[in-house]
Chains A and B, each alone.
Chain A
Amino acid sequence: MEDTRLALVVLVPLVGAILSYVLGRAAPRIAGILATAAVATSFCFVVSLWQALEGGQTFSFTLSSWLSFSNIKLPLEIYFDKLSAVMCLVVTGVGSLIHLYSIGYMAHDESRPRFFSYLNLFIASMLILVLGKSLPVIFIGWEGVGLCSYLLIGFWYTNPDFASAGRKAFVMNRIGDLGFIVAMAILYHSCGSLDITVLNRPEVLARIPSEMGFIAGIALFLAATGKSAQLPLFTWLPDAMAGPTPVSALIHAATMVTAGIYLMARMFGVIELAPLVPAIILWTALATSAIAAIIAISQNDIKKVLAYSTVSQLGFMFLAVGVGAYSVALFHVVTHAFFKACLFMSAGSVIHGCHHEQDMRRMGGLAKSMPLTCLSYGAATLAIAGIAPFAGYFSKHAILESLAHAHNPYLHSYGELIGLGATAIAICTAFYMTRSFILTFLGSYRGEGHPHEAPMVMTAPVLVLAVLSVVGGLVLNHGFFTYLQGPLPPVATHSGGGILGSVLGSVPGLIGIAAAYALFIVTPAVKDQIRKVLWVGEKVSSGKFFLDEILGLLVIAPFRGLSVVVSRVLDQSVSIGTGNAIGGISRAVGELTCRVTTGQVSTYVLWMFASAAFLLYCFLPVR
C-alpha cells in the first residue's frame, strides 16, 4: 500500500544532510540541532508507520522507475514490513539519541556542519538499506553506508592514519560488496527478479540450480562479513575507531555493522538453499567471536576494547543466523544496539572528560568525578555480560538455547562443542568488560588534569540508553519473536524459565565478572604471574593475532607488487615498448633502403637498364 510517510522517512534525513551543511557553514550551532531534528522527525514517522502495521499489511513507495526499461523491471522502491520496522526503529531511535549526544561531543570542533551532514547522510542510506524492496535498492543503502563510514572515519583527515583507516574500511566493504553483486547477478538470472518478497518464495527458489544457490549463499555471506566485520574482513572495525566516538557508537556499534545480519535475515531462503552455507556461517562466526574476545582482553584503548567486543557480539549474532534462528539474531541486534551504543557514548564522555585521553592505563577512579557516566557504563557492562534482569541476558541466552536445537546436517556431531565455545566466549566477554570498567572507573586516577562530568546534553541520551539496556530485554523478550513471525521463519523458544532459570543463565557472566574482580581488585599481583605464564597468549592477543600483518602479506603486498610489475613490465615495455619498437624498425628499414642511393650515376643507369631488361623479358610477346 503506497504511503508517502515512508518516502519522508528517507527523504527527511537526506534533506537534513544538505541543509545542515549549507546552513551550518553560516552558523555551526544550527547544524547539530537541525540534524538531530531531522532524525527525530524520521523516527516519529517510523513510529507512526509501525503503529499502522497490523496483520500482514505492508507499506511501499516507488521513488523512481530507476532501472526499468524494455522487459526489465527494477524500480527504486522502498518497502516497510515488520522486520524493517524493527530495524528502522533501532536506526532512527538510537540515531537521534546519538545525534543529540554528538551536539555536545563535537561542540568545539570547527567543521561540525560537515560532521552532521555526513551523519544525516549515513542515517538516510541506512534507512534505504533497511527499507529496500529489491536487492539493488538494498545495495544502494549498502554502498551509501560504506561511503559515509569512509567519510566519518577519516573525518579528522589532517591525520594521515585516520584517512588511511577510512580507506581501509571502504576497500574492505567493497570486497564484501563484490559478493553482493555476484549474488544479485546469479539470483537475477535464475529467478528472473531481485524483489525480496519474490526471492523468498519456495517455488522461485526451486528454480536456482544447486551449485549456483551455494555460490549465491556464500557471496551474500561474503557481503555480510565485509559489512558486519566477520573473520576474513573484520580488521577494519578496530581501525575505524579513528573516527569521532559518536560515529563509532552509531555506525560501528548500533547500525551499520548489523546490516549484514539484516541481509541474512531478509535472504534466509537463499542462505538455506545449500545446507553447507549455514554451517560455514556458524564456524566463521564462532572463530571470529572467539578471536575478537581474546584480543579484547589485552587492549588498553577503551574504544578498541569496545570495538573488539562488537566484533565478538556480531559473531554471536551470526551464530544464531547459522542455526536458522533469525529472529533471535535480530533480538540480539536490538539489545546490542542499546548497550553497545550506551557503552561507546559513555566511553566518549570519559574521553571527553579526560581531554581526549583514550588509554585506560591513564584513567581510573572516574567513578567519583563522573558518577552518571559510571552508572550507565556499569549498567551496560552488566547487560553485555548477560546478567539476569539486563537486556543482554535474554538475547544471549536465547542464542545459546537456539544453538542447542541446531538441526543442520553438518553440525550434528559438533552441537555441544559449539554450545561450550559460545559459553566460554560469554565468560570472556564478561571478563574484559569488567576489566575495562575497573580500569576506568575504580582505583585511583592515573592521568594528569582533573576529569569532569560530561554536560547534560551528553549524559542524558547515555542514561536513556542505559535504562533501555536494563529494561529492554524484559519488555521485548516475550512479544519480539511472535512479532517477527511474519517475515521470518518461526523459532523454537521458551520463556525465561523463572528465577532459577535466569540465575542459571547468568552463571557465565557472573564467573567472568568474579574472575576480573578477583584479578584486578583483590590480588593484582596474581595478574602479573598469570601474564608471565601465559606470555605467548598475551603476545598473540595484544598483537591482534597479527591479522593485519597476515592480511597485508597475503593480499595487499601481492597486489601492490603486481601493480608495479604490471605497470613496469606489461605497460611500459609491452604496449608502449612495442609502439616505439615498431617506430624503430621502420626507421632502421628506412636507413637500409636509402643505402641504395650511392650517388653514382652509373649505378642508377645499371639499375635502370637491368629493370628495363627484366620488364622487356617479361612482357614482350616473345616466341
Chain B
Amino acid sequence: MTIPWPPLSSLIVVPALGALVCLAPWFSSKIDTKARFVRLWALGVSMLTLVILAAIARAATMSHGAVLGLEEAHQWIPSLGITYHLELDGLSFAFCLLTAIISLAVIAWSAKPASAGAGWYALLLLGEATVMGAFLATDLVLFYIFFEAMLLPVLGAMALWGGAQRLNASLKFLIYTMAGSALMFLAILYLGWTARAMGHTLDGNFAFEITTLASMKMLNPTEELVLGLAFLLAFAIKIPMVPFHGWLPDTYREAPHGVAAFTAALLGKVGIYAILRFMWPLFPTFMVQAGPYLAAAGAVAVVFGALVAMAQKDLRSLLAYSSISHLGFCVLGIAGVSTMAMTGAVFQAVSHGLITAALFLTVGAVIDRQGSRDFDRLGGLARSIPLTAFFLMVFSVAAVALPLTSSFVGEFLIIVGSWKLFPAWTTVALLGVVLGAVYTLTAYLRTMFGPLHDTDPRTGGDIRGFDVVVLAGLAAAIIALGIFPADLLGMISPAVEVNAVPSVVADSSVALGFSR
C-alpha cells in the first residue's frame, strides 16, 4: 500500500510536536497566566489530529472501498530488524477515532487542576500521541515502545496534580504495568529470535513485524502457550481483567478528573485492541484453547465489577469498578471465534470509551462543585444543577446499555455473537448487566434525587459554556453511534476477519463452529 496523504505517522507527530510547543516559554505560567492561550493551542492541535484522521479515512475508503488498509513502513534499526511499521485498518481506525475524540474532549474540558498550567496540556497531547502510536504500530517492538510510553504522560499528570495519595497510587500503577509488559517484551524477543533461527527472515536478522511473524507459523503449541500467557498477562493488567485490577481503584481515586477520563477511556482499550491485533494472529491454537477461560474471565469481571461497584461509597471508585464490568464484556466478546462477537467487542470498547470519559468528566464537575465525592454528602442535586443532572442521566442511561445508545449495539452483538460459543458465560454476563442497572441507578438516585442535603445554597452552580458543548458532543456521538452504527461496524468487521478469524479457521483442527 502506498503511503497515503497525509502520512499515518502525522497522527503521532502532530500531537507530539504540539505537546512540545506547549512547553514553549511564551506559554509559561508567567506570561499566559490563566493558561488560556496554551489551551487554545492544545485544542487546535487535537482538532487538527481529528481532521487528519478523517482525511486519511476518507482518502482510504475512496480509493478501495470500505476496507481500510493503509500502511507506512520504513527501516528503523535494520541491524536488529526493527521496522517503523504503522498500519491503519478498520480495527485501528475505530480506536484512533476514539483517541482523537477523547483527547479533544479532555483538552476542551475547562476544569483542570488549579496548579496545572501548560504542562497539563503538554502531557495530554503527549498521551494522545503515544496512544495513537500504540493503536497504529504493527511492529511488535514499536508497539511495545508505545505501549510503555503511553503510560508516562498519564503517570506524570497524576503524580503532579492528583489527589492526596497520588504518589503511591501512580507508583502502584507504574509497577503493575511494568511487571506485565516486561514479560511481554521477553516474549517479543523470543519471537524475533525464533524468526531468525528458523531462517525465515529475508535478510537473516530478527523480524518483529506482525504480518511476517504470523505468516511464518513457526511456533509449536507449548511455545504458543507460554508466549500467549506472557502477552495475555500484559494485556490483562492493562484492560484490567479481574484478578489483575489492583491498580485501578487507587488510580481512578487519585487521578485528576481529566486524566482519569483519559485513562479509563483509552488505556484499557489498548489491551483489547492488542489481543485482537497481535494475539489472535500469532497464537491461534492458544487463543482457541484459552477461549473458554477468557470468556469466563470476562463474565466474572462483569459480575465482579458490578457487585463491587454496588458496595462502593464514593462516586469515583464506583465508576472505576463499572468500567471493569463493561470491559469484562469486551473480553467476553473477543474470547470466541465469531465475527459478530469480535466486531461487537471492538464497538463496545469504543462506545465504553466515550461513555466512561463523559461520566468521569460529568462526575468530576459534580465533585468539583459540591466539594465531596461520597454519596451521603451528595443528594437532591437535580434541582440545583439541572443541566449536569440531565447529562449525567443521559450518560448513565448509555452506561446501562439502553437501546439507541452505542453501548447497546456493542452488548447486543457480543451477547448474540458469543451465545453460540459460551452460552453459560454469556448468561452470567447478562446477570452482570442487570446488576449494572442497579448500581448505576442507585448512584444516580443518591446523588441527584432525594432531598437536598446541605441547607446552604450550592455555590458550585451548573456546568457552563464550553463544557456543555463538550458533553453535548459526547452525548451526540454516543446516540449517533447507537442509531447509525452500520458504517463503523462495516469498517471493523472486515479488519477483524482479516486479522483474527481466518488464521484460526484455516487451521483445520480448529474449525470450531465459526458462526456468522
List the interface of chain A (C-beta within 8 A of B).
Answer: 63-72, 76, 136, 139-140, 142-144, 147, 150, 154, 157-158, 160, 163-164, 167, 170-171, 174-175, 178, 181-182, 184-186, 188-189, 559-560, 562-564, 566-568, 570-571, 574-576, 578-579, 583
User: B179-208, CB under 8 A of A: which get 1 and which 0?
Assistant: 000000000000000000000000000000
**B445 near A140: Cβ-Cβ < 8 Å:** no
CA distance A142 to B486 in the complex (A): 22
**B450 near A559: Cβ-Cβ < 8 Å:** no
Partner of A64, one of B397, B442, B483: B483
Q: A136-B412, A178-B434 are in contact. Are A579 and B403 (CB under 8 A)?
A: no
Which B residues from 304 to 339 make CB contacts under 8 A with A?
304, 307-308, 310-312, 339
* Chain B residues with CB below 8 A from A63, complex form: 483
24 contacts between A and B (CB under 8 A): A64-B483, A69-B489, A69-B492, A70-B490, A72-B516, A136-B403, A142-B403, A144-B404, A147-B402, A157-B382, A158-B449, A163-B445, A164-B445, A171-B441, A174-B433, A181-B430, A185-B416, A559-B435, A563-B307, A563-B310, A566-B308, A571-B249, A574-B243, A576-B249
The smallest beta-carbon distance between A149 and chain B, in angstroms, is 13
**A563 near B403: Cβ-Cβ < 8 Å:** no
CA distance A147 to B404 in the complex (A): 12
CA distance A568 to B310 in the complex (A): 12
The smallest beta-carbon distance between B5 and chain A, in angstroms, is 28
* Chain A residues with CB below 8 A from B416, complex form: 181, 184-185, 188-189
In this complex, the member of B172, B249, B434 whose beta carbon has the largest number of chain A beta carbons within 10 angstroms is B434
CA distance A575 to B241 in the complex (A): 11
Q: A68-B486, A559-B435 are in contact. Are A160 and B451 (CB under 8 A)?
A: yes
Chain A: interface secondary structure? helix
Shortest Cβ distance from B435 into A: residue: A559
Judged by a CB distance under 8 angstroms, whether B391 is at the interface is no
Partner of A185, one of B419, B448, B449: B419
**A158 near B433: Cβ-Cβ < 8 Å:** no
The smallest beta-carbon distance between B458 and chain A, in angstroms, is 15
Shortest Cβ distance from A76 into B: residue: B483
**B246 near A578: Cβ-Cβ < 8 Å:** yes
Judged by a CB distance under 8 angstroms, whether B7 is at the interface is no
Q: A171-B441, A189-B419, A575-B246 are in contact. Are A67 and B413 (CB under 8 A)?
A: yes
* Chain A residues with CB below 8 A from B380, complex form: 158
* Chain B residues with CB below 8 A from A188, complex form: 416, 419
* Chain A residues with CB below 8 A from B343, complex form: 69-70
Which B residues from 360 to 388 make CB contacts under 8 A with A?
380, 382-383
**A567 near B483: Cβ-Cβ < 8 Å:** no
**A67 near B419: Cβ-Cβ < 8 Å:** no
* Chain B residues with CB below 8 A from A150, complex form: 441
CA distance A139 to B257 in the complex (A): 35
**B434 near A170: Cβ-Cβ < 8 Å:** no
Judged by a CB distance under 8 angstroms, whether B420 is at the interface is yes
* Chain A residues with CB below 8 A from B420, complex form: 189
Q: A174-B400, A567-B312 are in contact. List 4 more A-B contacts (CB 8 A).
A: A69-B486, A69-B492, A157-B450, A185-B419
Judged by a CB distance under 8 angstroms, whether B152 is at the interface is no
The smallest beta-carbon distance between B26 and chain A, in angstroms, is 43
In this complex, the member of A142, A164, A181 whose beta carbon has the largest number of chain B beta carbons within 10 angstroms is A181
Partner of A174, one of B249, B434, B484: B434
Shortest Cβ distance from B516 into A: residue: A71
Q: A144-B402, A174-B437, A175-B434 are in contact. Are A160 and B449 (CB under 8 A)?
A: yes
* Chain B residues with CB below 8 A from A189, complex form: 416, 419-420, 515
CA distance A76 to B304 in the complex (A): 33
Partner of B172, one of A157, A570, A579: A579
**A140 near B404: Cβ-Cβ < 8 Å:** yes
The smallest beta-carbon distance between B344 and chain A, in angstroms, is 9
The smallest beta-carbon distance between B497 and chain A, in angstroms, is 7
CA distance A139 to B311 in the complex (A): 30
The smallest beta-carbon distance between B302 and chain A, in angstroms, is 13
Q: A67-B409, A144-B403, A147-B402 are in contact. Are A564 and B246 (CB under 8 A)?
A: no
* Chain A residues with CB below 8 A from B516, complex form: 70-72
7 smallest beta-carbon distances between A and B, as pairs:
A579-B246, A185-B419, A567-B311, A140-B403, A163-B449, A69-B489, A157-B449
Judged by a CB distance under 8 angstroms, whether B511 is at the interface is no
**B434 near A575: Cβ-Cβ < 8 Å:** no
**A157 near B246: Cβ-Cβ < 8 Å:** no
CA distance A571 to B515 in the complex (A): 36
**A563 near B419: Cβ-Cβ < 8 Å:** no
**A178 near B311: Cβ-Cβ < 8 Å:** no
Shortest Cβ distance from B491 into A: residue: A69
Q: A67-B486, A570-B304 are in contact. Are A564 and B404 (CB under 8 A)?
A: no
**A571 near B308: Cβ-Cβ < 8 Å:** yes
Q: A69-B493, A185-B415, A189-B515 are in contact. Are A167 and B445 (CB under 8 A)?
A: yes
**A567 near B308: Cβ-Cβ < 8 Å:** yes
Shortest Cβ distance from B404 into A: residue: A140
* Chain A residues with CB below 8 A from B475, complex form: none
